């Protein structure tokens, strides 16, 4: 399912116009992105938690040259599924 499919499904089930659903979805994604960018986490009870995790620096290898390179530490987005979501997927 892609974003368009999601908007269409929510629109059909809720009776809202696609334009309104798209606006809400875009605002939700923007708020999650903004929260993660400042280091906050977004917890949706039963669904899951969006958070950032620190990936430590490491030594890697350039696949073209074989030369070792240093990969710096970074923050990466992560999602941890909640219990209701886990149960629904079983």
Length of the chain: 90
pLDDT tens column, 37-67 = 999 999 999 999 999 999 999 999 999 999 9
Paired tokens of 50: 């969006």
The pTM (predicted TM-score) of the whole model is 0.80
CA distances from 6 to 25, 39, 51, 87 (A): 9, 27, 23, 21
For residue 7, the tally of other CB atoms under 10 A from its CB is: 20
Query: What is the token pair recorded at 62?
Result: 């350039």
Which of 23, 86, 24 lies closest to 49 in space, CA to CA? 86
- Per residue in 13-24, pLDDT (tens digit) is 999 999 999 999
* CATH placement of domain 41-90: 4.10.520.10
């Amino acid at each position: 399912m892609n974003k368009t499919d999601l908007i269409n499904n929510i629109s059909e089930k809720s009776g809202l116009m696609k334009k309104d659903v798209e606006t809400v979805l875009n605002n939700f994604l923007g708020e999650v992105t903004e929260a993660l960018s400042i280091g906050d986490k977004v917890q949706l009870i039963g669904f899951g938690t969006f958070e950032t995790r620190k990936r430590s620096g490491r030594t890697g290898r350039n696949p073209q040259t074989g030369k070792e390179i240093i990969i710096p530490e970074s923050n990466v987005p992560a999602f941890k599924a909640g219990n209701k979501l886990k149960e629904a997927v079983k």
